Amino acid sequence: MVSIFFTELFKTVGAIHDEIEIICINDGSTDQTLQKLIAQKNAAPKHLSIRIIDFSRNFGKEAALTAGVEHARGDAVIPIDTDLQDPPELINALIAKWKEGYEVVLAKRCDRTSDTWLKRKTAKWFYRLHNSISHPPIPEDVGDFRLLSRAAVDALKKLPERERFMKGLFTWVGFKTAKIEYVRLSRKAGDTKFPWLKLWNFALDGITSFSTVPLRIWSYLGFFISLFSFAYGSAIIVRTLVQGVDIPGYASLIVIILFLGGLQLVGIGVLGEYLGRIYMETKNRPIYIIRQEL
């Protein structure tokens, strides 16, 4: 996959007359990725500067993306994956928009037929839910593939959080933004490293990073349940005074207990999500550790 990606990338950046720096993040790979990156560095054209950042272990996509942004030295920075679903030839269009005066240029996926039906639907539901309860809303169908000006990169480097949701952080810093639409391609090689469980956790990270609405919901829900319980209890007292003592129903009692118990467990789970984020932030550990730079 590495050689295929660099072949396509060199076709694009070879025609760019500006000075180009390519930063490769090796996120704790266990195959021959590092050796292949070194081979590409040695074989690269002389006008291209390739730097390799080798992590001490796998720290995840958000950490790798953070490292690339923090170590980039150019006036404009373009994060891109090596699976070629985001076409390198679009880099020229991103740079052209940036030269028009835009500080951030987004690559918006106008056609995602290469993804499965379920993935397209769940992504759409996530964007709708996230943007309805979070601020600022993140652009729909926009991934990490984009152009960031030096001003935007410097602003991102000031954000100290360890538990990072980069899509949200990219949007949060703002700046003058333009969009370019493109067709998302099929993966050229390899398999996705994001199974459904990781995608679910990724969505939870996105919501809890930029919204406290899930916490607020339980305050309102508790109020309405208390109000309903008060009204229902008052009705039982009135009926008992008028009609006498009724035989209590075991089944309805069990249903109510299980329902309220389930609500309490869900509420504790939501609290746990936010407490877990606070716990990880208070450790103040580095986002990643670099084993070597080549």
DSSP secondary structure letters along 41-80: HHHS-TTEEEEEEEESS---HHHHHHHHHHH--SSEE---
High-pLDDT (> 70) share of the chain, %: 79
Please give the Cα distance from 30 to 170 (Å, whole number).
Answer: 30
Backbone φ/ψ region at 16: left (φ over 0), alpha (ψ -120 to 50), beta: beta
Least confident of 174-178, 231-235, 279-283: 231-235
Tokens of 143: 């991934």
**Going by CATH, does the domain composed of 2-195+287-293 fall within 3.40.30.10?**
no
Collapse the DSSP code of 179 into the 3-class scheme (helix H, G, I; strand E, B; otherwise coil) and give the result.
strand
Q: Which residues contact 261 (CB under 8 A, 6 or more apart)?
A: none
User: pLDDT tens for residues 136-151?
Assistant: 887 877 888 889 999 9
State the pLDDT at residue 233: 67
Q: Strands 142-149 and 76-77: what pairing?
A: antiparallel
pTM for the predicted model, two decimal places: 0.73
Whether residue 51 contacts residue 22, with contact meaning beta carbons closer than 8 Å, is answered with: yes
User: pLDDT tens for residues 18-48?
Assistant: 788 889 999 888 888 888 888 888 877 777 7
Mean pLDDT of 178-192: 70
Whether residue 209 contacts residue 170, with contact meaning beta carbons closer than 8 Å, is answered with: no
Least confident of 216-220, 242-246, 290-294: 242-246
Residue that wins the pLDDT comparison between 149 and 199? 149
97-101 LR contacts (CB < 8 Å, sep 24+): 97/147, 97/178, 97/180, 98/147, 98/149, 100/178, 101/176
- Does 131 score more than 80 pLDDT? no
Please give the Cα distance from 180 to 130 (Å, whole number).
Answer: 22
